[in-house]
Each structure stands twice: as structure tokens, then as C-alpha cells.
Structure 1
Amino acid sequence: MVSSVMWDGTEADTVKGTVSPHLTRLLVRAGLAAGLDRSRLAGVPDLGVLNQNGIRIPTATIMRVWELVSGPAWEAGGSKRVMELWRPGALGVWDYLFCVSGTLGHALDAASRHLTAIADPADRFLTVRDGDGVTVTYQGPYRDHPQYPLIGELVPHMLLVLASSATGRRLTPVRVRLPQRASTASQRVAELYNTTKVEFEADHPSITFAAADTDVSLPRADPALAAILEDHARLSTVAARPVWKWLDRFHAALESAVAEGPPGLDEVAGRLAMSPRTLQRRLREEGTTWRAELEELRQRRVQHLLRETSLSVDSIAARVGFTDSRSLRRAVHRWYGHGPAAIRASGSA
């Protein structure tokens, strides 16, 4: 049965399009530790406020950080490197929901209910109990984003690290499912998740914990404190102050529109409570245009879909908003100088 789903509606309205800065801090630290040039972070909006309390930053900011740190961080250890930097409290009150809950199963339920304490309201954990134990599946709106395979790798590992910390021992999952294609680095993947039972090309990343692990009382269980921390997670999220710049708001609205289908200028303008003409004027003031922003977004998504899925060119064209496959092929030639087949065959653009 499904034991927990999404977020509180009021909470979602107040923090839509934002995340807490906690995970962004870990990603930045992992990138810098792996050799990322700090100057490359200079143009990322709102990184200067990461250490402030009581704020939320645009989701577009953490997605940009993912793009910058993915190369050096993942070459130097990836998800393992990020979570090696984690200490209890590094993810705010959300961390402590794990250790003080009655059982690991209760902890996973609480973490699912309050995922917005660290993530965008569009993200969610779905926890399901069955004969194998408890499965936590991550569902978010980033499936077409080039960095989604890395997000899909980190989330189950993050849950495994937090669950192991809460139980006081290294857990072995029943199963891990990942959205990316099977990797040749099978030893690294097995070490990352402490199991060889890893399945690839899943619709969504997930991790399954054995019933023997989820049903036993946690060593630091404190039901009264757990209830207090759940209230704190909800209230602190609602009370957090979003840090926005106009272009960040535009990017968040565009990403949100794309998650629901090919975006139109009128639709995105409506999401920003302005007329299409005003939206075009504001974009010009920011040194960009609707066409340029849409082109950049389409390029990222087409590249990801060609590299990470087996969807046909016709299907990708429809999903990304091209009129037909010929339009997509012309765009790919314009971007890279060769056709979609070359990107799919080489695994990189």
C-alpha cells in the first residue's frame, strides 16, 4: 500500500519553484573539493546567500550548480563524494526526522511527508510497503534535464546514507533502481549502494529497504521529539523567505511549463502574471530573448533524450515541442554540425 505521498497544499503554494539551500551547499562543496574553479560559480544567481538561515533559493539555481559540478564531482567520486561531506544537520531538520523516528519505516514516511523542507514542491517521495519491505521512489519534473541521471544516482544513495546513520549500521538494500543506462563501472555502483542488486533504465530512481530493517525500533527513537521536529519542518518551510531575481522566476516558470508539455509564450507570460509583450520586453532588458531561452532549453532536453533514452526521433520532437522530426533534425545540425544519430551513437554531443 502507499503510505505517504506529496506535500501540504498551502506549503506548496508558498515555496513553489524554490529549494532550501542545504543540498546546494553540499554540491558546491563537492565540486570545489574535486577541483571546480570557483570562478565558474560566479555567475550562478544567489550562491552568495547560501549560508543565510531561513531562506529558499530558486530551483533554477541548484539545477545550474548540478550542471557545473557534475563533471569534476562525478569524476572524483560522484554521489559518494557528496555524501562523504554530509554530517547530521547538513540537510537541516530533515536529517533529524530519520534518527528520532520510532522505526526506519516511520522515518521514511516522515521524510516523504516533509521532502519540501529540502526540495522543490514539485519533487516527491512515494513510499510503498509490500512483501519486500519499504520502497522509496523519487519523482520529480527533471526527467528531460541532462543532469537527471546524476540526480537519480544521488537520491537513493542519500537515503541509504541517512538510513544507515539512523540505524547505526551500514544497511544492504533489497534493491536499487536507477533511470540511467547500465554502467560499465559495476563495481563502483555496487560499492555505492552496498548491493549488486541494481536495476537500470527504470522510470524513476528508487531504493527498497528490507522489512527486517524498517520495522525495528531505532536506537535514538524519541516519538515526542519526532512530532516536534515534524511541526518544525513544516513551519520553517512555510516561513522561509524565497530569494528571487526576475530571470530566475522566468526560468522556473519555463521549466515548469515544459514539464507539462511544449511551452508557449502566452502560457509562460500568464504564469508570471504579465502580458506576452511585457515578457518579451523584460527578456530584452536581461540581454536575452524568448527564442534564445527556448532554444537553449530545447537543446539541453534533446541532447539528454538522445543520450539517455531509446525514444524515437519523432517522439523526442513531439516531447520537446518541434513540429516534426525534420525540424528537430535541422535544429540538431545547427547546434552540433551533425544529426541525432551521431549523438545517440557516441553518447555525447
Structure 2
Amino acid sequence: MRKKWIVLFVMAVFLATMAGAITKFLRKDNKPKVVVVLQERNLQYWNIVRTGAEKGFREFDIDGEVVAPGNKSKKDGLEYTLESILNEHPDVLVVAPNESPAVIPILNKFIENKIPVLLIDADIPLEHKTAYIGTNNFELGKKAGELLASQLQPGDEVALPFFAEDLTHPILSERIKGTTLSLDAAGIKVVTEPNHSQSSSIKKIMTTILQKHPDVKGVYTTTDLYALEALTVVEEHGLKMPVIGADGIMEMIELIKDGTLTGTVAQNPYDIGYISIETASKVIKGEKVRRNIDTGVDIISKDNAKLKLDFMGDLLR
């Protein structure tokens, strides 16, 4: 009986290997296959990541595909999308993971099947990842704090509206730590009212902060979408103060260009997409790659806002 199970196991491994080999043989022009999995397609940020990846596909002669949960089948969820891709046996997987604990076991299946995994956007604790390509979010937070501190005085108070769950988020928590460090070093006090309620909003949290801390002189938020909500509350209270966000979406940059805001910090989503494919190409060729590839952070001010807007506008056409 034991011998029978050994034979069946060997046959299963052989068939899985053959399936992968046949899949690769049937690919068009025998190009290497790279699948990029984004968290979603409809947000501006992810569209720019996709544009960078597609440029990489063309330049590095790769049979590439960009997908997001829900657009490969009727079922939703990153886990299901990854399971489907595993059956395609790509040469490399590029994925923007979420914070779900269920993602790591599925990514480990790729690694067990000798499919290198490149993480983008969020560097989750995947032990055998090949590389992380993206923003160092702690450094982003530090730069945002320094930018805000440069417009204030020691002893001033800064509002930091966020949700309680952001403190455990792999990206947002690092931004909070970095910003707090910079502001503390500048002698600026951070005030906040983290809210556990699912029905809450950044607007409500920001309103509460202004009610309890009327001397606030500036605002930092971990995303530009949060910043836009906080700005609405600031304006409703008839106040004028620097509001610094992160990500560098076009709506924020427009406000900087017209003088409503003084500046923000921006990620480089186009570089994240492009460099991830450049890295995948190197991996396929057997070249060594760095385990952590920082795509940098830009400081956006009135001086360079139009240039950034023109660049992003061209990408999104």
C-alpha cells in the first residue's frame, strides 16, 4: 500500500511539472510570462502602476498581463485571483499584496512551485520573496514630517487624523511612525483622536481634533485621499494651514499648483510598475537582484507641480 502511494505521489509531481512545461511551450513567441496583480484597477494610482508595467513588457520583450481581483472571474478576492494565476505557471509573479493573513500561504505556493514572487507597494513578511519594489514608507513619513515641520515653529500642534486599524496596516503604520519621529525631533506636538468606529470618517475625526485642540497649526495624513477630507474640514472652520498628505494624486497636486496647499510627498507609481518588470526580466535571466528596491519619494511644491501634472496626464491618456 505504501509503495502505491509513493508511485501516485511521484506521478502527481511529474504531471504538475509537465503541465508547467507544456504551458510555457505553448506561449506566444516563447516569450517569458509575467503576471502583475494589482489591488484594483479603477484608482488613479494603480492605473499609473499598470502603465509602467506595460512599458516594461514592451521594452523587455515579455508576455505580460496585468490583472486585479474580480477581473479574472466572477469571484472576488486577491486569494482567488492568485489561485487562478498559479494554474497558469507564469515565470514570475509581481503582486501588490493586501494585509490579509491568507495571502502569505498562497504566495508560498508560488515559491514552492519555483515561481519567483516580487512584491510591490506593500512589503509584507514573506520569508522567501525574491524582492520588494516600492516606497520605503517609513522614509516617506519622515520626509512628510520634515516638510510640515519646515512650515511651523517648535511648540506648535499638528493634527494627525487616522483610523485605529491604520496602526496595524503594513503601509500606513510605517508612515505614521516616520512622521511622528520627524515632528518630535522638530519639537512639534502631534495630536490625534483615532476612531474605532466603522461608521466614522476622516472628516469626523478631523472635526473632533479641531474641537479639542483649537490651536492646531498644521495637518498630516497618511494618504492624499485622507488629506482632501481633512482639508474640507479645515476650510469649513475658516482656517488656513498646511495640509500634507502622501501618494501625490492629481487632485492634491492641482491644489498645490493653484496655491491652496503648499506641498505634499509623492510616491512614484510609474517607476514601481516599470522597475518591477525590469527586475522580473533580470530574475528570468538568472541575474542577481537586490532584495529591497526603493523607488523613492518626490517632494511636490508649487515650483514643480505643473511638471508633475503634465507627466501624470500623459500617462493616463
TM-score range with shorter-chain normalisation?
under 0.3
Larger fraction in strand: 2
Larger fraction in helix: 1
TM-score (norm 2): 0.21
TM-score (norm 1): 0.20
